[in-house]
Structure 1
Amino acid sequence: ATGNVSDGKQLYVACQACHGAKGEGIKAMNAPSLVNQSPWYLKRQMLAFKEGRRGTHPKDVYGQQMVAIATTIADEAAVDALVAYIDSLPNRAPEATVAGNIKKGEDYYSMVCGSCHGPNAEGNKLLDSPALAGVDDWYLVRQFELFRKGIRGADDKYGRQMVMMAPALPTDEDVRNVVSYIQTLAE
């Protein structure tokens, strides 16, 4: 993260109502944790919301909410400042809320997900694959469902990669199993 942390802290005031004072996320607001995520990915997503490459599908209600907020961010320097501030916040292991078969999830993850997202779900910038470990499990389930339905990924090339991969986890149970395994990797 290359932005000015103190500027980012001031800008973050608009984010904390949904994402929490420490970036911990607020499930009741449908806002995931922002900590535990790679700065490059946070920047890419904020710019995608701001530039209309994410959250534009009529059925992406939560994405549309982010578009409305992201368009108020002045420019890329402000995005960099926000990302720098979020990156300065302490990481936290999210609470597990999704139940699944961890062993089956590990098998699926190793076969389907790990080659892009990393063996420990740490993400891989070279493959444009974000970290999954440490991301709220309820959020991962919801995003996978949005990819599966083509609601997320319709407007950006990175999302289209996941739309194409979604059939690799054909059932809701498979998704819960993989997400339950990913939660065991969170620190």
Structure 2
Amino acid sequence: MIWGVKTPKASGEPAALIDSGARFIPALRAFFSRRAPAADVEDLVQEVLLRIQKRQPAPAVNNVEGYLFEVAANVLIDRGRRDRTRRRSDHCELQETHHPVDEMSPERVLQGREQVARVMAALNALPERTRRVFILVRFEEMSYKLVAQRLGVSVSAVEKHVMKALRHLHERLRDQDDVDNVGARETRRPG
């Protein structure tokens, strides 16, 4: 009987081994509680008992307690291997604090549209070739080499056009942010 549920015994398997396993549940819990997170202890104990139950008929076990803790140690080793393979330590729980709901308020939508309009205006202010190179590299995700071949220019020229576009966009958007911040401060001043 494991966890209060009767289990069928394999033919030839000593009933004493299964009964002894159930008798050692508190000791197994203590063993796992020192070596694994508290949330995993019951699962690990259950895994030990399942492995004992699935054991193929074999010679009788003389040292039941030693055998149980050897199985328990192997369960821990196997769990560690699975965790490393699945990179369990890299996972995180999906909690509201880590992933807050992003509400799309009308104000937020308007701000997004204004930002897109500023970026488009800054892009349209670029020289035609620079804008075309930038769009192919950043939006179409083409390599510098492929853009150079398509436009019949050197890779170095493509790099220069991209840098020129980035510099231009940075300056234009930074200037616009400065204007927005000054305007916001002036509207907040008591008059």
Higher relative contact order (CA 8 A, sep 6+): 1
- Greater C-alpha Rg: 2
**Is TM (by shorter chain) over 0.5?**
no
Structure with a larger share of its residues in helix: 2
